Structure 1
Amino acid sequence: MRQRYLALLSLFASLPAMAITFQTRLESIEWKVEGDQFECRLSQPITDFGAGEFVRRAGEQAIFRIKASGAMMGPGSATLLAAAAPWQPGRGDINLGSVRVSNGGFPFNSSQVQAGRLINGLMDGRSPVIRHYSRDGGTMEVRLLPVKFNKAFSDYQMCVTKLLPMNFDQVKQAEVGFPGGGIELDTRAKSQLQTVVAYLKADPTVNHIELDGHSDNSGNRLTNRDLSRRRALAVMDFLKAQGVPEEQITLRFHGERYPLAPNTNNANRARNRRVNIHLERVTPDEKPAPVASAGSAASTS
């Protein structure tokens, strides 16, 4: 009996590893477009698996990712392909490289370049394919089909036109320069601040702005501190004129204390004349005083 059991184990071990493909039936294919000012998504549900989706955040290019309904893929790596359709004889698959796979609901994110090539492939009738190799030698493929893609992509592009210029990660740390040495906002500074204001109006959860004024070391300490204060005030006045409540703004001024670059030449001194802007989501109990007094500012300079 023992010899028979060992023989069965040997037989199963000699069988080829299993290959599984997840793909929605042709007649059930659909593409979904969802989004707002912050993010646009173009996705295809995949039967018994989840979905494949292109995601484009404001201020960025699209990435491609898989949304898994369970722990379908183990950690490791997978190959990303723009696969030729069976009805396209003579066309080979395009290998777009590997992606790192992890546990969780979104096992991987492609690069922006890979996502762009996948979109071009779909426009050309190709299928995005993720080929994942398990540790036991088995293969899992997840495949999207190009059916109905062109119409959905047109709707997705309409969504993209409404995205904000920047996302929160990009806009939360901004820097407005005063390269000419004065306290007036130039055209570039106003354009930067308009981008900040546009985001603030779109995202009411961002409810606190910190302004830190700086100078170079051209004058004495008292003059430099006053210049940094007046630059921060110029930014605050611009924000207030655009409808940002003053109680959401904290103003500080540091004079020459925190240079970005050594004050050894004109170019470096121009860099140091600036106001740094930091956006935050703050609960009412966490909010600091709106505007720093001259005494508190002097103590930090």
Structure 2
Amino acid sequence: MIISLLGLWLTSAVATAPQYTPAMDQSEWRISGDQFQCQMEQDLGAMGTLAFTKEPGRAIEMQLTMHAAHLELQDVQGHVVTAGWQPEQVAPAVQFSPTFINAKVARFIEQVPVVMQQLQQGYWLQLMLDLPGQEITLTVPNIKSASALAQFQSCIDALLPLSWAQAREFQLFYPVNERQPSADDAAFLKTLALYIQQDKAVKKVLIDGYTDDMGSSIANRVMSEERADEVASHLIEFGVSKNKLEIRAHGNRYPAAAGNSTQSHNRRVLIRLIRAQS
């Protein structure tokens, strides 16, 4: 049964939990995003919004945001239901609980990919909202979603391979006397180079080489420069403009750790991305 938000309060004395379903003729998934984030969002009338969000390097999330000032979440439990006009049938046993919740936001991570699959098959979502003094059953329609879901997936496919948090700083560590990045580090440098090329806000890449204190100051300075140069060469090979790179060799200055047992932490190259001020 479709009722207005005002109707919730008129029926709050009824033993069963009030039910709220946004007007189906206004139900629509909106797609927005760029190479850093994709979002599929539906307005739930006066109640709030439900959004699916995907960022590079992070699992897809679902977030319920309450708009009404007098509605404060204490708990949310959700499950998949059949569409409102379909005959009664058994819906898939897909249930989900928030990973994080406060008075206005409930964020879901576990089971969200499964929920997305059920949306693709035409199922709706139902959220049981535990509010101070009452419970509300919120049904989320899923109308004409095929096109929206396809657009959302296209946006996800175009996301950068890394998030800014993953790309902004990275350290490579080296065995004694080794100058070349490891195979795993070289693979990450290739991914990082793709990110640098796509993120137009990255204006400079600082590459700082360091060593342990096992050799002479001159030898350590040379070693740290050779390691930094090799990292820079990999980035250039993978498409990063040489003009963006700034290489600095510190030798055994600025150790990250002290003591012979931790010297491996000092044999390192630190890469930092600098973005232009917005």
Q: TM-score interval w.r.t. the shorter chain? A: 0.7 to 0.9
Distance 2:107 2:53 in 1: 10
Determine the structure 1 residue equivalent to 2:4. none
Question: What fraction of aligned residue pairs are identical, expressed as a percent?
Answer: 20
* Cα separation, partners in 2 of 1:149 and 1:232, compared to 1, 3 Å: same
Distance 1:37 1:77 in 2: 33
Distance 1:22 1:69 in 2: 14
Partner of 2:106, secondary structure, is coil
Q: CA deviation at 1:260?
A: 6.5
Q: CA deviation at 1:52?
A: 1.4
Distance 1:127 1:168 in 2: 34
Determine the structure 1 residue equivalent to 2:116. 119
| RMSD (Å), alpha carbons | 3.5
* Cα separation, partners in 2 of 1:71 and 1:236, compared to 1, 3 Å: farther
Q: Which amino acid aligns with 1:126?
A: Y
Any idea what the Cα deviations from partners look like across 1:39-81, whole Å, max 9, x if unmatched? 1112223223343111000122210012444436414322122
Structure with more of its chain in helix, by fraction: 1
8 Å CA contact retained: 2:173, 2:265: yes
2:278 counterpart of 1:281:
no
Q: CA deviation at 1:207?
A: 3.1
Q: Which of residues 53, 72, 75 is equivalent to 1:74? A: 72
Determine the structure 2 residue equivalent to 1:101. 101
Q: CA deviation at 1:24?
A: 2.7
Distance 2:259 2:139 in 1: 55
Q: CA deviation at 1:139?
A: 1.6
The number of residue pairs the alignment matches comes to 265
Q: Which amino acid aligns with 1:198?
A: L
8 Å CA contact retained: 1:100, 1:108: yes
Q: Which structure 2 residue ranges, 5 or more long, are not aligned?
A: 1-9
Distance 2:166 2:244 in 1: 24
8 Å CA contact retained: 1:24, 1:47: yes
Question: Runs in 1 of length 4+ with deviation above 6 angstroms?
Answer: 268-271
2:146 counterpart of 1:150:
yes
2:128 counterpart of 1:131:
yes
Q: Which structure 1 residue ranges, 5 or more long, are not aligned?
A: 1-11, 285-301
8 Å CA contact retained: 2:78, 2:125: yes
* Cα separation, partners in 2 of 1:68 and 1:249, compared to 1, 3 Å: farther
Q: Which amino acid aligns with 2:272?
A: H
Distance 2:81 2:209 in 1: 54
Q: CA deviation at 1:271?
A: 6.3
2:55 counterpart of 1:57:
yes
* Cα separation, partners in 2 of 1:249 and 1:123, compared to 1, 3 Å: same
Determine the structure 1 residue equivalent to 2:190. 194
2:158 counterpart of 1:165:
no
Q: Which of residues 193, 205, 216 is equivalent to 2:201? A: 205
TM-score, normalising length: structure 1: 0.71
* Cα separation, partners in 2 of 1:130 and 1:178, compared to 1, 3 Å: same
2:227 counterpart of 1:231:
yes
Distance 2:276 2:124 in 1: 44
TM-score, normalising length: structure 2: 0.76
8 Å CA contact retained: 2:97, 2:108: no
8 Å CA contact retained: 2:96, 2:108: no
Distance 1:196 1:92 in 2: 40
* Cα separation, partners in 2 of 1:253 and 1:41, compared to 1, 3 Å: same
Distance 1:100 1:46 in 2: 20
